[in-house]
Structure 1
């Protein structure tokens, strides 16, 4: 089982979008049973809430399920559970480092690190920009590139 955790600030916009897109990609490729995919936020402001209305709207337009998703806060134990902890921006990486446990073999990276010639280094937060379509565009590219990388490295 390959365990992938997506991280953003509050776990209602970018990371649940990435979780939903990544799950959809693995389902389309018939490899969903080889993955455990989740998302979490740095902060606890939205714990227990569903994805943001803007995230739900863009996922509905693309016919991508987010059923059952509820925001949660990242915890130290996530480093023992997940092989990949994928953040949406540099600030998330910095915040993760402050709570990171010293665990070997956990890849911590930004989603855009996997995209060749990415137009952005960080995925802008649509909670503030209100541009959920652009966020979807970036997250979708990142998830596809991440899945390709994992398949190549893990022989999936």
Structure 2
């Protein structure tokens, strides 16, 4: 059995590639990188083909998390049939994803911070505008840990 996750933000250079890299690192540490696949995309097309934002790269470098080969891409309607779970980084991303997918999507769509209800906030702040990459990293790390727990329960013992 396998499972696939797609993280989606606006431009696919800050939040969603950070989540992709952090989650990929966690699944590799758990030995589940052959079972769980992960990708990221943006609802907008401004940064297609670009590497993650310098702030995201600096932060990932600081924690020794690889982002090798990651390039921004745009979210596609076909992603609804290619992924089991699509994780929106904020309310607008979620609305845009649901609008593009329509009703005929295989994928479950959730908002990232639904994984951390105790935080009491709806949206992962966009560090492209706030500059606070450290705050976003803490949210992404804690949410990714919860997401991995959820997926492991769903999959059972698959190693």
In the alignment, is the contact (CA less than 8 A) between 2:77 and 2:101 conserved in 1? yes
Alpha carbon RMSD of aligned pairs, Å?
1.1
- Change in Cα spacing, 1:105 to 1:78, as seen in structure 2 (3 Å) is closer
2: CA distance, partners of 1:101 / 1:31: 31
Q: Structure 1, unaligned stretches of length 5 or more?
A: none
In the other structure, the counterpart of 1:103 is 104
Q: How is 1:68-79 mapped onto 2 (pairs within 5 angstroms)?
A: 68-79=69-80
Shift of 1:120: 2.5
Deviations 1:6-48 (A, max 9, x none): 0000000000000000000001011111011100000000000
Deviations 1:120-149 (A, max 9, x none): 221000000000000101111111111111
In the alignment, is the contact (CA less than 8 A) between 2:4 and 2:36 conserved in 1? yes
In the other structure, the counterpart of 1:94 is 95
Deviations 1:27-71 (A, max 9, x none): 101111101110000000000000000000000000000000000
Q: Does 1:145 align with 2:140?
A: no
In the other structure, the counterpart of 1:57 is 58
Q: Does 1:133 align with 2:134?
A: yes
Q: Report the TM-score when normalising by structure 2.
A: 0.94
Q: How many residues get paired?
A: 156
